[in-house]
Amino acid sequence: MDRDRIMAELAGLAEELCEPHQHTEVIWDTTERRHKRMRRAWTTVQDGLLAQLREIGHEGLKVGGSSGSGGGKPGSKPPGLFEAMARHVYIAVTVASWCQVRGLPLRIRVEDNIRALVGAAPVMDDDTLERFWREMRYWRGQAAVATGWVAAPFQPWIACPRCGRHSTLSISLTEDGRNARAAYCINTDRDLVTGELLCGATWSEETIGLLVDHIRAAGAEAAA
147: part of which helix (H) or strand (E)? none
> Which of 104, 126, 150 represents a domain boundary (last residue)?
150
- pTM comes to 0.63
Does residue 51 carry a pLDDT above 60?
yes
> Which of 150, 176, 197 represents a domain boundary (last residue)?
150
Q: What is the mean pLDDT of residues 170-191?
A: 78
pLDDT tens readout for residues 97-111: 999 999 999 999 999
6 located within any domain = yes
- Do 56 and 139 lie in one domain? The reply is yes
For residues 214 and 207, give the distance between their C-alpha atoms in angstroms, rounded to a whole number. Answer: 12
State what percent of residues in the chain have pLDDT above 90.
27
36 located within any domain = no
For residues 16 and 9, give the distance between their C-alpha atoms in angstroms, rounded to a whole number. Answer: 11
185 located within any domain = yes
Q: How confident is the model at residue 66 (pLDDT cuts 50, 70, 90)?
A: very low
Question: Domain containing 192: what range?
Answer: 153-224
Which spans in 28-177 are helix H? 49-64, 79-101, 110-120, 126-146
State what percent of residues in the chain have pLDDT above 70.
71
